Amino acid sequence: MKNQKFNQIINNTTKGASLILLGAGIGMSVNYLVNTPELFARTNNNEALTSKDSVSFIDQGNINFVSKVVQDVGPAVVRINASRTVATNQQNIPSFFNDPFFREFFGGQIPQPQRPNQKIQQGTGSGFIISDDGKIITNAHVVEGANQVTVNLKDGRVLEGKVLGSDSLTDLAVIQIQAENLPVVQLGNSDDLIIGEWAIAIGNPLGLDNTVTTGIISATGRSSSQIGVGDKRLDFIQTDAAINPGNSGGPLLNAKGEVIGINTAIIKNAQGLGFAIPINRAAEIGQTLIAEGKVEHPYIGISMVSLNDQTKPRLNQQSQGLNLTNEEGVLIVRVMPNSPAQKAGLKSGDIIKSIEGVEVKESSQVQRQVALRKVGGELILNLNRDSQDIDVSVQLGVLPTNPRR
């Protein structure tokens, strides 16, 4: 049933048509069913292969399962080169050269200020082909601000790329190249991941094309706030497969060679900590970018903090009138002006206990519940206000491009 709904969404959409961010780090960091509109197909028989399926560690002779995955998927992994034009500063001339005495003494040898000029910056990242007519998914930060995008295929061709759409909030972008009959990846199901299962990363780290690293899935459901990118609306897959600058946008694969995530970030100075965007979320966003060129994200417009043994003493100390003891939930710290939350009557000091009957104890749970809904939909919040439990209905708005903080 889930796969049928997934494919129905795809059909309708197509017919209508620090933590270091990698890719800017260099110079600046599924199977496609022919003659169908399903760009993000799962398997030839439209059934999702789960990580619980058995894996043969030895295929033929000396070719192990990693080698087999690389042979099958490698041709669909590309290098993305992004060129950006940036302004450079004027040359700084010491002020004493403006003194008439020095001007007379040095004459025409006084250095003259240079006019502002422009400089081309080059960045490199990775991506993978999702349709045989040349649609490629990658990270938004790989192509952000790019004046020109080129794509290097494994067969040696270098083709111009056009950004069909980009979404900074989920760090995803889709590129189109003009080509036919291209090799494509096959997508897995990131909802079925098992901690400890194999993970294989293919990409172009540090300019070294077609590099392969292996590891395991270390954790799932890492919130953006947990790993230091609170401005993103994502949960991440954690892996110990080596990920380096230039891997951004490349695929994280399971032992069957299915894409389960998009390699995105590492934690500075840490080892064995890499993060990837789950492919189910990426496929959804990718289809919207292809169809509309942008993504509208729902929001309610609040600043919030989780209530726990660490935060409650600090909140009591910093905020007059608060006396938090046994309260549990998520405290609303601020309500944004003219936001859906303000229009619904939410107030600073309200404690969110549950959303649509689902208990929440972490701010990431609130964000996740909002992200699951559509703009214009309504959420029922159960609040504790002045020791009274109340229900408030909030109609979700569109997250502003530059929300006020």
What's residue 58's pLDDT?
Answer: 45
Residue 209 among the catalytic residues? no
* Of residues 114 and 140, more confidently modeled: 140
pLDDT value for 333: 92
Question: pLDDT (tens digit, 9 = 90+) per residue, 81-96?
Answer: 998 876 665 555 555 4
Of the residues 29, 51, 131, 141, only one is catalytic, namely 141
pLDDT band per the 50, 70, 90 thresholds, residue 34: very low
Residue 203 CA neighbour count, 13 Å, CB half: 38
Q: Which residue has the higher pLDDT, 304 or 48?
A: 304
Catalytic residue among 29, 166, 248, 306: 248
Q: How many angstroms separate the CA atoms of 265 and 263, rounded?
A: 7
Select which of 132, 167, 171, 235 is catalytic. Answer: 171
Average pLDDT over residues 132-155: 94
Q: Six-digit token pair at 289? A: 């970018």
Q: What is the mean pLDDT of the chain?
A: 80
Classify residue 372 by its DSSP letter. Answer: T
pLDDT of residue 112: 57
Could you read off the pLDDT of 47-85 as tens digits, one per residue? 444 444 444 444 455 679 999 999 999 999 999 999 887
Backbone phi, psi, residue 69, to 5°: -60, -45
6 pLDDT band, cuts 50/70/90, is very low
Q: Reply yes or no on whether 192 is catalytic.
A: no
The residue with tokens 């003219």 is 338
Q: How far is CA 29 from CA 25, 118, 122, 168, 264, in A?
A: 3, 20, 10, 14, 10
- What per-residue confidence (pLDDT) applies to 111? 56
**216 DSSP β-pair partners:** 198
Kindly list the structural domains of the chain, giving each domain's residue range(s) and its CATH number in brackets, ordered by start: 2-74+185-292 (2.40.10.10), 298-398 (2.30.42.10)
**Catalytic annotation on 297?**
no
Q: What is the pLDDT of residues 357-368, one digit of tens each?
A: 999 999 888 988
Q: What is the mean pLDDT of residues 147-171?
A: 94
> In the prediction, which pLDDT does 17 show?
40
The residue ranking higher by pLDDT, 163 or 12, is 163
Which of 176, 177, 175 lies closest to 138, judged by CA? 175
Q: Which residue has the higher pLDDT, 268 or 242?
A: 242
Residues 212, 398: Cα–Cα separation, whole Å? 40
Stated as kind and residue range, the H or E segment containing 404 is none
| pLDDT(276) > 80 | yes
Asked whether the predicted pLDDT for residue 201 surpasses 50, the reply is: yes
Lowest mean pLDDT among 68-77, 109-118, 368-377, 392-401: 109-118
pLDDT at 9 over 70: no
The pLDDT-based confidence of 114 (bands split at 50, 70, 90) is low
pTM: 0.74
